[in-house]
Amino acid sequence: MTLVSIAIYVVLVMVGLGVLTMLLFGLRSLTFGKIKPLNIIIILVPIVLLGILGMVMGDWALAAIYTFMIMFLLAVAALLISGVRGIFN
């Protein structure tokens, strides 16, 4: 094994530990009532979308690109709707 391949594994383990820590503290905050369940659902939308697209398409890299594009369009639409609603209020 080269140093680069070892570094890649170390980075993947660190990212995995970071995600696991965020999940654990998110669950802790949810059980203590510090976060609303709707916020958790909103955070899970891209993960679920990626899972569905990945399973359907079979190509996870392309599914990730499509997920990014869909989430970007949803964010732009939300900003547009918020701006238009602000004009009329």
Task: Encode pLDDT of 27-49 as tens digits.
Answer: 888 888 888 888 888 888 999 99
Q: What percentage of the chain reaches a pLDDT higher than 90? A: 62
Distance between CA atoms of 74 and 71, rounded to whole angstroms?
5
Q: Which residues of 11-28 are buried (b: 16+ CB within 10 A; e: fewer)?
A: eeeeeeeeeeeeeeeeee
Residue with tokens 């891209």: 46
Task: Compare 88 and 52 and report the one with higher pLDDT.
Answer: 52
In this prediction the pTM is: 0.66
Indicate if the pLDDT at residue 85 is higher than 90. Answer: no
Q: In this predicted structure, what is the pLDDT of residue 89? A: 73
**Domain chopping of the chain, boundaries:** 1-35, 36-89
Distance between CA atoms of 81 and 67, rounded to whole angstroms?
21
- The type of residue at 15 is V
